[in-house]
Amino acid sequence: MHSVSQSTDHDRRSLTALRHRLHQAAELSRGEVTTAGLIEEFLRVARPDGLLTRIGGYGVLAVYEGTASGPTVLLRCELDALPIAEQSSCPHPSATPGVSHKCGHDGHMAILCGVAQELAWRRRANGRVVLLFQPAEETGEGASMVLDDARFAGFHPDWVFALHNLPGYPLGEVLLRSGPFASGSRGIAIHLTGATAHAAEPERGQSPALAVGAVIAALSSLPQDRIPLHEAAKVTVIHVRVGEVAFGTTPGEGVVMATMRAHTDRVLDELEAHCRRLGSEIGRAHGLTARIEIREPFPATVNSPDAVKLLRSVADAVGLKNRFLDHPFAWSEDFGHFTSHYRGALFGLGAGAEHPALHHPFYEFPDTLLTPGIRLLHGIALAAGGMDTQDDARVERS
């Protein structure tokens, strides 16, 4: 195995400072202008052979060419933050009101910038490494936007990898799984429309209030009633609205929003069909018009066994403990768009057994995770260059 880390203490300090700047510049999906600018500025110093900006929105892509032909390895991180107000007392708080990096994407970006520093010091012997700083992960849009960008079409990755820090596990422990790693999810909005009336004469209108209540109850019990026990699925009601705040008016419209989750896209398709049918039938039974829309779809992220085997060997080589998981995670990641087209894997990196959970208002990425993250991703970039490109290395896009 190649040596996988030549960075100095000064490099690590500069990456920690970068992480703090990115934390302060937190921006929501599809608006990562300042964040992308900071990444571009840093990467230009790291001397890539190619640098693309505004890919798939505000994405940034850096290319490091080897000295001979060989496989293309893509390493990906995320640019966007969350609509969560900063509540921790860190000395570098978010400067964007109501927006903060509570998923650790600032740390993921700093790790990938550290890999760029390593590659600037020594190129891979063959093939090329593509570093993708992807926009709009939190809304499930960014991966598709990158894949649909004409400038990405020429890269044809043989391997794709991404990490995500995971609180609740020992710091630096590598979390692996072949097959489904992160669940698929889709948002569903069931709009029910009747007719308004004076609140003194509700019989002259068609209120959706009772139907909304019925939809909430039916959605909540749907996985129990319709999905077999061995096929995990979940429906979580996340928002409800009926009419407006007007005490003189009987409401004429309402909406129920929920998130559907399953470990596989097949079960998720079945779950969506049940939810659609349920919304339409309840609306019709109450004399209402039902309109149903799907939002923020995330496919299940399914890991290639070959990619997981490579990950384990690299983790062993750089001295990081690894653990194989029995079950996929319930949360979703739009990296599933990449693993559905290319051979690769998403994996976890423990952020500390007692660390605040992802999306918690007191969460902050632990800077001590930068070094193991860089060692691991840089090791993957080097090791994947020595692997044969198999016939199934790329999955044809449907």
CATH number of domain containing 199: 3.30.70.360
Residues 189 and 260 grouped into a single domain: yes
Query: Would you say residue 143 lies in a domain?
Result: yes
For residues 306 and 345, state if they share a domain: yes
Domain termination site, one of 250, 266, 298: 298
Is position 392 within any domain? no
> Does residue 64 carry a pLDDT above 50?
yes
Residues 186-191 have a mean pLDDT of: 98
Q: What is the CATH number of the domain that holds 172?
A: 3.40.630.10
Verify that 17 and 104 share a domain, yes or no: yes
Question: Region 325-348: what's the mean pLDDT?
Answer: 97
Same-domain check for residues 70 and 157: yes
Question: Containing domain of residue 64, as a range?
Answer: 9-183+300-384
Question: Which of the pair, 301 or 13, is modelled with greater confidence?
Answer: 301
| Pair (276, 365) in one structural domain | no
Question: Are residues 269 and 192 part of one domain?
Answer: yes
Are 19 and 76 in a shared domain? yes
**Do 116 and 92 lie in a common domain?**
yes
Q: Over the stretch 190-203, which tens digit does the pLDDT of each residue have?
A: 999 999 999 999 99
pLDDT of amino acid 386: 64
Res 8: pLDDT = 59
Residue 4 lies in a domain: no
pLDDT, position 123 = 78
The domain boundary residue, chosen from 298, 330, 345: 298
Among 298, 319, 347, residue at a domain's last position: 298
Separation between Cα atoms, residue 241 and residue 222, nearest integer Å = 21
Asked if residue 179 has pLDDT above 50, the reply is yes
The yes-or-no verdict on residue 335 having pLDDT over 90 is yes
**51 with 170, same domain?**
yes
With respect to residue 53, please indicate whether it lies within any of the assigned structural domains: yes
Is 185's pLDDT higher than 80? yes
Model confidence band, residue 387 (pLDDT cutoffs 50, 70, 90): low
Name which of 124-128, 151-155, 358-362 the model is least confident about. 124-128
In the predicted structure, residue 166 carries a pLDDT above the cut 50: yes
Q: How many domains does the chain have?
A: 2
Same domain, 179 and 189: no
> How far is Cα 393 from Cα 381, in angstroms, rounded to an integer?
16
Mean pLDDT estimate for the chain: 93
Do 190 and 178 share a structural domain? no
Give the model confidence (pLDDT) of 236-292 as tens digits.
Answer: 999 999 999 999 999 999 999 999 999 999 999 999 999 999 999 999 999 999 999
Instruction: Calculate mean pLDDT across residues 74-100.
Output: 94
Q: The whole model's pTM is what?
A: 0.91
Confirm whether 1 is domain-assigned.
no
- Confidence check: pLDDT of 134 > 80: yes
Residue 287 lies in a domain: yes
Tell me the average pLDDT across 77-103.
94
pLDDT for position 9? 60
Residue 80 lies inside a defined structural domain of this protein: yes
pLDDT in tens, 214-237: 999 999 999 999 999 999 999 999
Using the predicted structure, report yes or no on whether residue 211 has a pLDDT greater than 60: yes
Q: Is residue 391 part of a domain?
A: no
Instruction: Mark whether 14 and 156 lie in a shared domain.
Output: yes
pLDDT exceeds cutoff 80 at 398? no
